[in-house]
Amino acid sequence: MHSRTTAIAAATLACAAALGCATRAVAQTEQPGRFEYTIGVDLEHDTNINLSESDPISEDVLMPNFAFTYVQRGSVLEANASGTIQYRDYLGGEFSDEVRGAVSGVFDWHISPDRFDWMLEDYVGRQPVNVLVNDTPSNQQQTNVFVTGPTLRAHFSDQLRGQLDLRYTNSYADETRDFNGDRFGAVGRLIDLLSPANTISGNVGLQAVRYDNTGDASDYDRGDAYGTYIRTAANGRLQIDAGYTWLDFKGGAESHSGALLRAIGRYDFDNRLSTTLNVTHQLSDAIDILQVDPTQVNMVVIGSGLSGALISPSVYREDRVSLSGDYRAETNSFHLAPFWYKDNYINNDIVSITTGVNLRAYGIYGSYEYRLRPDWTLGAFAGVEYRSYTDFDRHDDVYDYGARLAWQIAAHWASHLVLSRELQSTNAANLSYNGNTISVGVTYSR
């Protein structure tokens, strides 16, 4: 089942456009790197580890784990990374012991400030091998997206700037080998600094996508032309990308094109309440959803719209809307994040049905925490997703909800108790299920 021990974590959406933000300003204030980590161990009892409708199997799982965050904002290095690594020992032997990891890292090295940067990004995640069967431990695989390359900047005047981003991307999946491949891309930008708060730019991007194991069937060249508007204020930020995309497939498949729209806006009502809206309409593929922002690395859960991603080389037309709201006060806090998306795969005539699954989905994730005493916190969470696979006339309703009690034992030591229930209702034969978990754990944090 999905990990529940991190399901209470709140998340803040951040800009992660597919071809990069229009500008990346050098940090104005030096801040030394801050590394924080948590080491712990959990013992979980699962009443339906195999997600079976008719023959559930109970299993105990011992889970040593390590979680970290690293943030640095400096004139030489900007870094934002977080991750969790977990070893799962299935004590009853129903599944082989395994290591699970989810890590996101973004590093920007300012080799020559305002002239020459080097960017490195890495996204390690875990997704199903086959999205059409239940997400048991044997139906999961590790994925990785690695991105690196230079950014060159030019100052034509105090107001007019130029920028060239050169990027190499490698994609990898343990089991879905058709996903493994390389990308070589470039984005040129002409940036007009209208005012300290407003920026516009014109952007032209080219990308060559080549897969290792599909021949020419899935290889293509991509072209993007779009404009960007960015407004930054003390209480929020807005970025809008609008333009057009062209895809030229190399294996004799039909070429495609379509409009491109990406918009993300964040508004802070005060120092306690904030909201973020994200709207996307574009030609996309699995790499986009795997590039999880470091602030969201613990939020790939039921109800987030980020779990159960189809890992394949196929391209789809994506329409997505997501909203998040966060409130944090001294005694209580909440996180609420609804989403809706539609994926329509193109060129389904040249790929197998397992690599092109048209999908409609919507749902919501929410969590609430209340501080009972200075060292005791009670929380609840719930996630729900409604998915429709239109190629098969299939409908899945998936729910996950539970409660969490945390005790801060000492300055660095804490313990927790988590109770949760997960269930799926579907019209697919033998794939409905329900199960409960209870887990206890202790952690040490610095």
Task: Write out pLDDT tens, residues 17-56.
Answer: 333 333 334 344 566 789 999 999 999 999 999 999 999 9
Whether 24 is covered by a domain: the verdict is no
Under a CB-based contact definition with an 8 Å cutoff, are residues 201 and 224 in contact?
no
What average pLDDT does the segment 293-302 reach?
Answer: 90
Question: With bands split at pLDDT 50, 70 and 90, how would you rate the model's confidence at 7?
Answer: very low
The dihedrals phi and psi of 201, each to the nearest 5 degrees, come to: -150, 155
The dihedrals phi and psi of 178, each to the nearest 5 degrees, come to: -65, -20
Question: With bands split at pLDDT 50, 70 and 90, how would you rate the model's confidence at 308?
Answer: confident
Residue-level pLDDT at 412: 95
**CA-to-CA distance for 225 and 202, rounded, in angstroms?**
8
Whether 65 is covered by a domain: the verdict is yes
Amino acid residing at 96: S
Q: What is the pLDDT of residues 53-65, one digit of tens each?
A: 999 999 999 999 9
Whether 129 is covered by a domain: the verdict is yes
**CA-to-CA distance for 48 and 53, rounded, in angstroms?**
9
The one-character DSSP state at 292 is -
Is the confidence at residue 15, as pLDDT, over 50? no
Whether 350 is covered by a domain: the verdict is yes
State pTM to two decimals.
Answer: 0.89
Whether 18 is covered by a domain: the verdict is no
Q: Which residues contact 163 (CB under 8 A, 6 or more apart)?
A: 23, 151, 152, 153, 154, 188, 189, 191
SS3 294: helix
Is the confidence at residue 116, as pLDDT, over 70? yes
Is the confidence at residue 3, as pLDDT, over 60? no
Looking at per-residue confidence, does 14 or 48 come out higher? Answer: 48
Is the confidence at residue 351, as pLDDT, over 90? no
Looking at per-residue confidence, does 114 or 70 come out higher? Answer: 70
**CA-to-CA distance for 406 and 380, rounded, in angstroms?**
11
Domain extent for 422: 31-445
Whether 19 is covered by a domain: the verdict is no
What average pLDDT does the segment 63-80 reach?
Answer: 95
CA 369 to chain centroid, in Å, comes to 23
Q: In the predicted model, what is the mean pLDDT of the chain?
A: 90
**Long-range CB contacts (within 8 A, 24+) of 55-59:** 56/433, 56/435, 57/92, 57/94, 58/92, 59/90, 59/91, 59/92, 59/94, 59/95
If one counts the domains in the chain, the total is 1
What average pLDDT does the segment 299-312 reach?
Answer: 91
Is the confidence at residue 10, as pLDDT, over 50? no
Whether 318 is covered by a domain: the verdict is yes
Is the confidence at residue 337, as pLDDT, over 60? yes
Say which CATH number the domain at 213 has.
2.40.160
Q: What is the pLDDT of residues 216-269, one digit of tens each?
A: 888 999 999 999 999 999 999 999 999 999 999 987 788 999 999 999 999 999
Tokens of 192: 């007009």
Whether 144 is covered by a domain: the verdict is yes
